[in-house]
Amino acid sequence: KQWYQRRVAITAGGNCDKLVKLTDPGRVYKVLGKNATTQLAEVRKHFNLVVEEDDLFSRCAICNCPYFLTMEPEQAKALKAAQATCNSSTVEQMYDVYDRRKNFVETISVTSDGMTQYGVKLQLHKVKISKFAETKTFWGCYDCGKMYWEGCHLQNFKEKHNL
């Protein structure tokens, strides 16, 4: 568990002093920047981090999971429609799970209403209908079901942070 021994809690919150008392010296870093852009730059500089394009959105923003189900727009649209009509079904389709660097993890089944074999409901109800025509691939978080797709936010982030 060497990776665990190198972890550092990064916080801008008021509980920093409490965390420092609960952990080993050097395991908490308090970010001083006031907004996300300056905080990111500060953390990159302090830890000498090199961020590459493949690192962007490589984990779920909600639960930090590194694995995603991939699906075509037609598949995602059909699952969304089934969820909207409460069409609970035992009909299953197989989906591949990858990390965002496109390394295969496993194949899992998803019912026609968007429930994975592990009991995670894909959050397709949050995807606007217009996105199905504009998007080549959708990713659903393996652990929490949050849906992702490439949009202008990715390009904007790369430009804003010089990536």
Residue for token pair 């991939």: 70
| pLDDT at 86 (0 to 100) | 65
Residue 76's φ and ψ, nearest 5 degrees, are -65, -40
Predicted pLDDT of residue 67: 93
Percent pLDDT > 90 in the chain is: 31
92, burial (CB in 10 Å: exposed 0-12, middle 13-18, buried 19+):
middle
The arrangement of strands across the sheet holding 147-149 comes to: 104-111, 92-99, 67-71, 138-141, 147-149
End-to-end Cα distance, the chain: 31
Phi, psi at 13, each rounded to 5° = -85, 170
Q: What is the pLDDT of residues 2-40, one digit of tens each?
A: 445 678 888 887 788 888 888 887 888 999 999 988 998
pTM of structure: 0.72
Supply the mean pLDDT for the chain. 85
Q: Which residues contact 146 (CB under 8 A, 6 or more apart)?
A: 60, 61, 62, 63, 123, 140
Q: Which residues make Cβ contacts (< 8 Å) with residue 87, sequence separation at least 6? A: 81, 112, 113
Whether 52 shows a pLDDT value over 90: the answer reads no
Q: Do the Cβ atoms of 29 and 13 come closer than 8 Å?
A: no
pLDDT given at position 1 = 42
How far apart CA 91 and CA 98 sit, in angstroms, is: 23
* Residue range 104-112: mean pLDDT, rounded: 89
Binned at pLDDT 50, 70 and 90, residue 115 comes out as confident
Per DSSP, the residues of 85-138 read TT-----EEEEEEEETT--EEEEEEEETTSBBTTSPBP-GGGS-THHHHH-S-E
